[in-house]
Structure formats: C-alpha cells, structure tokens
A and B are shown apart, each in its own frame.
Chain A
C-alpha cells in the first residue's frame, strides 16, 4: 500500500543533543511537509519542499533544519533541542496538481521527548 512512513515513532533525546527524524513516502508526491504539533493544538507548518525547492515558514526557528535527498525521503534535523521542542512531529505529502491546497496525507508521526 502506498503510504507515508515516519521513523522512529518515539524519540527521546537530551537537552541540546542533536536529533534527526525521518520520513519516507511511496506515493511519489512532489511536495513534502513537516509539522510540529503540541498537545491540544493544530499542526503548525515548519517548512515544506516542492520537489527540491525548500520553503521555510517565517516563524520557524533556525534550530530546525531539513533535508530532502530524493523524492522519497525527507529529514528533520533539530540541532539543539530545547524542552519547548517536545512535541509530535508530523510529515505529510501531497501531489501538486492544481495548486489549490491539495490533500495532504500524513504519516503516523514521531513523538519527541526532550529530557
């Protein structure tokens, strides 16, 4: 089945210790997104790739970086995690067809805990 996969599902890291979250997709979608979702809040877009073009949201901290080495994979790097970065991180993909807000398909998420 075509899907969006995230690894790991749960990640525990120490304050200030870099961490990388991964996302892969078999949908062959050209747009990939990273969201941060804190408890009882809406998903907050951090950045997205349209093919290889990287688009950062204006309020995304510099502490967050991303890489997309190919169509299928995308990584979220948190360079120096703080306690406030503990959250669920969601990866999503969409196929850009009309540019009118395409349906996004979400992975199961990675829950990050910062000690």
Chain B
C-alpha cells in the first residue's frame, strides 16, 4: 500500500467552478500535511500546509483534514485557467523526517 494516494485524474472543471482534490494516507500517526502545485516543466510550489483537523482557508484555497479518516483535501473556489496544473499532496509522518508525496492529480480548468 502506498503511503500517500491521489487520484491521478485528469480532473476537468469549468472556469468559476469548485475543484476538489483528494488525498489519503496510510500512516495514522502523520502530523503534517502539505499541498503543492506543479506547473508543467516547473518545480513544485507550496500552496498550503495543514496540521489540525478541520478546514484551513487561504484565499480561494481551502485545505481540509480528517485524521480519523486519514484524508486530506484541497478545494479551489472560482477556478481559473491559471490553476491548471498538477497538485501534489505531501505527508510528513514524523517531524523532521522526509515527506511522502502522492503521484499528483492533474487539473485542467476549462475557460
């Protein structure tokens, strides 16, 4: 079983819609969770981190964490064509250690 799993997509949403990206992880004691965006040919850039159960909002982005279900998601409101990218979920099982990355979900926002 992979440590972090994501639906590879591709996920297509119309401009202005809400894009929902999901991620599950296997290590129940994981403490830190991160969402990165990677444009084609570029390196990942941090979108958000989340550490506690519940929702965390930053502009059009909302991260949701449910540790009991071992599930973390990213919602993108009012999706824009510029949001078209691959979104990587990363989990840090133990503070100070390496991240486990999912394979990423490819999102296309259709104008």
Real complex partners, A and B?
no
